[in-house]
Amino acid sequence: MTSGRQAGKAVVLTLVLVLVLVGAAGAGATVLWSRGSLNELICDGACGPSAIATPDALARDASPAGSSPTGASTGRLDPAAIEAAVRDDLTAGDLGSHVGFAAVDPADGKVVASTGSGGYVPASTTKLLTGVAALTELDPQERFITRVMRTDDRIVLVGGGDPYLATRLPRQKEYAVEADLVTLAKRTVDALRRLGMTSVRLDYETSLFTGPTASPAWEASYVGQKIVTPVSALWADKGVASGTRTDNAPRAAAEAFAKLLERRGITVTGSPIETKAPSTADPLASIRSATVAQIVEAMIAQSDNEAAEVLLRQAAIAAGQPATFDGGVETVRSVLSRLDVDVSDLELTDGSGLSRKNRIAPRTLAEVVAIAARTAHTDSLVSDLAVGGFTGTLARRFGKVDSGRGVVRGKSGTLTGVHSLAGYVTDQSGTPIAFAVMTDRTKSINPFLTEAALDRVAAALADCSCSRPVP
């Protein structure tokens, strides 16, 4: 039954839409919509991507000039105009003493404005590099497979590196969560019964990934205080049970799977141990993850650290590198070099950005955004970016800078004393600009003030007439 509150919102939404259609409130409603003021009425909270009408300047398949990062534009970016637009905002005290900025023309990938030098601690904007590497080395439509293999009366649950494998599918669908142990248990039991089997020993395999499960460059507290789940090719619910990260996510997944088998009449002997399925083992059952493109989208939208580290290893495997931190980092560097992205100041130790030892130059981030839009396998990354004031990690940003609200698309990065924002915006003439602004010495500054200062830089680009006519 629809609640009174929901019914009321439906009535209000209907009235708004009717008013817009008949023109009685067209302009006012448009302003409210673009500012996100109707989110609470329409979406019962923050609107997700499917509920957001993409601004004309950002619509990927729209016909107006300048409607996409690589579309035809009314002009070319003017370096002097860009520098003038952001000059004052880049010197704001709330950005601290170490600030970097870069703007790139998506039409040709050229850096048109840049301040600061060297690399900066990127925090979660690192995930842009991980996403591009994954979409480049893997088929965006590829899916990761979790399998059950059998040898005689022994079965092995084999992790396939699905970062969103669930114990059971949630009642309300969650994006990129498409495979679950309940479904795998049902298929396994059906297969066992066809073989006339009612009792098995269950073990598990995680050998798809190798090397350390936690980066030596991470803070020790990340794993010790269960802030991050150690990286594995097998887990369920990212290793979280009852709101707490388990001590051994692969074993916990196997134990949960054993219980699901037993509930369906299969006796499971012993306790699961880590092993490797023999090469002679027969496939018994399997489930498939969401597509790589969907997983990348969820990783970017949620700024998902665990998914980023899994994707780093999956990209490494596809590139013929070891499925480790080092192999993944080498894969990212190789992909960026092939795409002609400047990596001269790039230092990476992980795929999530949790490490404070990472260094990325603003121009590298801006170039990644620009090149992603021009490459078939990676162009979805641009639409994955959060919309300022509406979605993802930018849903509550741009509250006091309306010129950026609904216009800026970006990926934020935050650690204590570290803030960054990289993405895409169009200026007043509809000319696209890929940009990145970074600061990593702000421990003594209120983080909300620093975030607002970053937003003002991006909004200044949106508010700028930063292009000149093409001769």
Whether the pLDDT of residue 20 is over 60: the answer is no
Residue 339 falls inside a structural domain? no
Taking only Cα atoms into account, the Rg of the chain, rounded to an integer number of angstroms, comes to 24
pLDDT in tens, 183-230: 999 999 999 999 999 999 999 999 999 999 999 999 999 999 999 999
Cβ count within 10 A of residue 94? 19
Confidence band for 322, pLDDT divided at 50, 70 and 90: very high
**184 and 268 co-located in one domain:** yes
Confidence band for 74, pLDDT divided at 50, 70 and 90: low
What is the model's pLDDT at position 232?
A: 98
Residue 33 falls inside a structural domain? yes
Confidence band for 258, pLDDT divided at 50, 70 and 90: very high
Residue 323 falls inside a structural domain? no
**215 and 159 co-located in one domain:** yes
CATH number (domain holding residue 459): 3.40.710.10
User: Mean pLDDT for the chain?
Assistant: 87
pTM, 2 dp: 0.85
User: What angle, rounded to 10 degrees, do the helices at 292-302 and 126-137 form?
Assistant: 180
Distances (CA, A) of 71 to 279, 365, 470: 51, 20, 14
**77 and 207 co-located in one domain:** no
**112 and 231 co-located in one domain:** no
CB 412 within 8 A of CB 124: yes
Residue 206 falls inside a structural domain? yes
Confidence band for 83, pLDDT divided at 50, 70 and 90: very high
**153 and 247 co-located in one domain:** yes
What is the model's pLDDT at position 14?
A: 36
Residue type, 30: T
**175 and 203 co-located in one domain:** yes
Confidence band for 69, pLDDT divided at 50, 70 and 90: low
Beta bridge partners of 432: 426
What is the model's pLDDT at position 376?
A: 85
CATH number (domain holding residue 277): 3.50.80.20
Total domains, the chain: 3
What is the model's pLDDT at position 59?
A: 38
**156 and 279 co-located in one domain:** yes
**102 and 174 co-located in one domain:** no
The mean per-residue pLDDT over the stretch 28-33 comes to 39
Residue 333 falls inside a structural domain? no
Among 244, 279, 296, the domain boundary falls at 296
Range of the domain at 26: 4-45
The fraction of the chain above a pLDDT of 90, given in percent, is 80
The mean per-residue pLDDT over the stretch 359-366 comes to 98
**37 and 60 co-located in one domain:** no
What is the model's pLDDT at position 318?
A: 98
